[in-house]
């Protein structure tokens, strides 16, 4: 955990801002020196001796500005990057404490967009926008004060021109609030669509809906293009009108100052200079408007970051959770993914300590949901789930998962070596322990045939391996972790016969040790020797017992068994 708030600014950032202000003031001092030169030229008193000190002062100011600008830029970059780093580390730590049920496709895209694009946008505020604003505002103030010292009404006119920023920014900020949030939401949706597209590219190609034919992705990109156009179309007229009004300060000063100039109360050099200043001032005003509008837009990113920071975290004690036995009990458990659509309804059963319990049933009956509740990927809405007689409702998911090894149908592997992928299960494991786990999981044969053996990179999500090889690495992880509870979720599904046999042998090795095993299987022959079989239908346990008991009962399980026998006959 971080000792201070991750969005808190640091001394590098504040130094960067201070130096930008100083550089703006020094930029304004150039006009003072220019005024002195113009006076001497007009009066005819210009000489090399007189011009050298002014030239030297200009060169000195330029050199000083260069040093200040370079130092301020570096300080702002360091300060902004440090805040950005703290934010990313905080979000990375935060996301691991957000309940797993939050990670739906759309929400995952939102998280990805926040951690990447939104943090980058916020970093731009700190490293560029704030510094530019500080410099331009300080320079604008210098020009107003300088014009006012020469001829007070000129300073007042420039000040009024600057004050026109207030209504313009009010209109601009309203537009940003309305369309900026829409743009952020559409951007997150865009990321979600792209993530889905990349993950499902093989399927999309198989059905001929890849590339521009993928309507979901193309619509998301069209929506983003449309909102970007609308956004710009709404803001640009405000900026254009402001620009016209600010530039009108030039003819207004020329006209109003001409009277004292003709009367001789305002000298020609002063008149020429105050007529020049609105040119620079108008450019600064337009720049400040653009930067503040952009700043306001980028602050939406800060709001997105703060929203993720404030998300509800998983509840539960982080105290060690070490039940003396590992029987698993459900008592009157209700659960639904969507409100009003129950998946489990007052479900209750017990799984014996160090026994093999199989869960079977129709697709969508709630089998995988039971494993997700045991592992605390999801929280039960009501009822109680206990392990070893200890309720897990008030225990942190991280502590419960320490007691569980999982082998899922969908295996996730990192873009790393074989050895490091296995080591994730137990970071302190030795190379010998990793290799022993791989031998028991029937992995060693194919690993040793690889170019660098255990040190061979396996690609993103193990895309250089077959499905059976990836599944066996998952089993090796479970063997290495050696937890007292083992959850198997259709580990042999979607494999060819050869790989299915290899995986079954690996599971056999995994089951040698005395563990509490819960297995979901799509093939009943795999589970016929289980100590107990739970039959799930429509969110309820409709039957339970051994294979022989359930066959004798002649119910749903017996019908499923008979159907499987006919398929394999």
pLDDT of residue 268: 93
pLDDT of residue 412: 83
Distance CA 334, CA 370 (A): 11
Distance CA 365, CA 342 (A): 11
24: its two tokens: 């703006």
pLDDT of residue 192: 74
- Which residue is listed with tokens 């050869």? 498
Distance CA 514, CA 356 (A): 9
Per-residue pLDDT at 6 exceeds 70: yes
Distance CA 423, CA 434 (A): 7
- Our measurement of the distance from residue 540's CA atom to the centroid of its chain's CA atoms, rounded to an integer in Å, reads 38
Q: What is the pLDDT of residues 125-150, one digit of tens each?
A: 999 899 999 999 999 999 999 999 99
Q: Which residues pair with 338 in a beta bridge?
A: 341
Q: Which residues pair with 359 in a beta bridge?
A: 520, 534
Q: What is the pLDDT of residues 446-490, one digit of tens each?
A: 899 998 999 999 987 788 888 888 888 888 888 899 889 988 887
Per residue, the 3-state secondary structure of 178-211, as one string, reads HHHHHHHHHHHHHHHHHHHHHHCHHHHHHCCCCH
Distance CA 361, CA 539 (A): 10
- Which residue is listed with tokens 């929280």? 379
Per-residue pLDDT at 2 exceeds 50: no
Number of other residues whose CB lies within 10 A of the CB of residue 373: 23
Residue 504 or residue 216, greater confidence: 216
Instruction: Report the CATH fold assignment for 11-309.
Output: ABC transporter transmembrane region fold (1.20.1560)
DSSP code of residue 450: S
For residues 533-539, average pLDDT = 89
- Which residue is listed with tokens 């819960």? 518
- Which residue is listed with tokens 């200079």? 273
Q: What is the pLDDT of residues 366-414, one digit of tens each?
A: 888 898 899 888 888 889 999 999 999 888 888 898 899 888 877 888 8
16: its two tokens: 């960067």
Strand pairing category for 404-407 and 485-489: parallel
pLDDT of residue 267: 93
Q: Is 164 exposed, middle or buried (0-12, 13-18, 19+ CB in 10 A)?
A: middle
Q: Are 390 and 502 in contact (CB under 8 A)?
A: no
Question: Which one of 224-233, 257-266, 496-505 scores highest in mean pLDDT?
Answer: 257-266
Q: Are 519 and 356 in contact (CB under 8 A)?
A: yes
Per-residue pLDDT at 494 exceeds 80: no
Per-residue pLDDT at 1 exceeds 50: no
Q: Where do runs of H (alpha helix) occur along 343-441?
A: 367-374, 397-401, 418-423, 431-440
pLDDT of residue 569: 56
Residue 199 or residue 126, greater confidence: 126
pLDDT of residue 238: 92
- Coil, strand, or helix at residue 539? coil
Q: Are 534 and 544 in contact (CB under 8 A)?
A: yes
Distance CA 72, CA 429 (A): 48
For residues 201-211, average pLDDT = 70
Report the percentage of the chain scoring pLDDT > 90: 38
Burial 207-223 (b: 16+ CB within 10 A, else e): eebbeeebeebeebbeb
Per-residue pLDDT at 331 exceeds 90: yes
pLDDT of residue 172: 92
DSSP code of residue 315: P
pLDDT of residue 68: 94
Distance CA 145, CA 165 (A): 18
The values of phi and psi at residue 205, to 5°, are -65, -40
Closest CA relative to residue 533, chosen from 513, 506, 560: 560
Q: Are 564 and 527 in contact (CB under 8 A)?
A: no
Per-residue pLDDT at 207 exceeds 70: no
| Whole-Å CA distances, 240 to 226, 247, 262 | 21, 11, 34
Q: Which residues pair with 518 in a beta bridge?
A: 357, 487
- Our measurement of the distance from residue 528's CA atom to the centroid of its chain's CA atoms, rounded to an integer in Å, reads 45
């Amino acid at each position: 955990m971080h000792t201070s708030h991750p969005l808190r600014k640091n001394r590098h950032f504040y130094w960067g801002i201070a130096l930008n202000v100083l550089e703006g003031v020094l930029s304004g001092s150039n006009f003072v020196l220019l005024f002195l030169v113009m006076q001497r030229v007009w009066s005819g008193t210009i000489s090399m001796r007189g011009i050298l000190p002014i030239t030297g002062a200009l060169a000195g100011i330029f050199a000083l500005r260069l040093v200040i600008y370079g130092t301020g830029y570096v300080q702002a970059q360091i300060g902004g990057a440090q805040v950005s780093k703290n934010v990313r580390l905080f979000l990375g730590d935060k996301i691991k404490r957000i309940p797993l049920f939050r990670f739906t496709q759309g929400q995952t895209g939102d998280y990805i967009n926040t951690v990447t694009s939104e943090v980058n946008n916020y970093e731009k505020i700190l490293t560029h926008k704030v510094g530019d604003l500080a410099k331009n505002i300080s320079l604008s103030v210098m020009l107003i004060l300088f014009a006012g010292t020469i001829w007070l009404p000129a300073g007042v006119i420039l000040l009024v021109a600057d004050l026109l920023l207030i209504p313009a920014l009010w209109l601009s900020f309203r537009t940003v609030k309305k369309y900026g949030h829409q743009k952020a939401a559409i951007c997150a949706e865009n990321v979600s669509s792209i993530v889905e597209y990349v993950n499902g590219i093989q399927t999309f190609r198989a059905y001929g809906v890849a590339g521009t034919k993928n309507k979901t992705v193309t619509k998301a990109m069209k929506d983003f293009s449309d909102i970007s156009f609308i956004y710009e179309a709404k803001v640009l007229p405000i900026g254009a009108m402001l620009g016209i009004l600010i530039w009108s300060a030039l003819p207004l000063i020329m006209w109003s100052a001409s009277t004292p100039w003709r009367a001789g109360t305002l000298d020609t050099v002063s008149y020429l200079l105050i007529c020049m200043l609105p040119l620079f001032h108008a450019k600064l005003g337009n720049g400040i408007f653009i930067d503040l509008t952009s700043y306001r837009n980028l602050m939406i990113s800060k709001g997105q970051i703060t929203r993720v920071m404030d998300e509800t975290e998983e509840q539960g004690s982080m105290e060690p959770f070490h039940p003396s036995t590992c029987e698993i009990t459900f008592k009157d458990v209700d659960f639904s993914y969507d409100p009003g659509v129950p998946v489990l309804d007052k479900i209750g059963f017990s799984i014996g300590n160090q026994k093999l319990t199989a869960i079977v049933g129709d697709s969508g009956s709630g089998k995988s949901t039971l494993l997700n509740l045991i592992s605390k990927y999801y929280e039960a809405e009501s009822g109680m789930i206990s392990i070893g007689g200890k309720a897990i409702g008030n225990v942190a998911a991280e502590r419960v998962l320490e007691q569980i090894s999982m082998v899922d149908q969908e295996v996730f592997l990192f873009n790393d070596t074989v050895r490091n992928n296995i080591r994730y299960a137990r970071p302190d494991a030795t190379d010998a322990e990793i290799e022993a786990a791989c031998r028991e999981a029937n992995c060693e044969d194919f690993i040793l045939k690889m170019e660098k053996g255990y040190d061979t990179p396996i690609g993103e999500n193990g895309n250089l391996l077959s499905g059976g090889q990836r599944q066996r690495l998952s089993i090796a992880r479970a063997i290495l972790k050696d937890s007292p509870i083992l959850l198997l979720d259709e580990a042999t599904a979607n494999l060819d016969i050869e790989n299915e046999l290899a995986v079954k042998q690996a599971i056999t090795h995994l089951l040698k040790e005395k563990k509490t095993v819960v297995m979901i299987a799509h093939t009943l022959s795999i589970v016929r020797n289980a100590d107990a079989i739970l039959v799930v239908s429509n969110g309820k346990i409709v039957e339970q017992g051994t294979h022989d008991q359930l066959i004798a009962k002649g119910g749903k399980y017996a019908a499923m068994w008979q159907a499987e026998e006919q398929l394999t006959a």
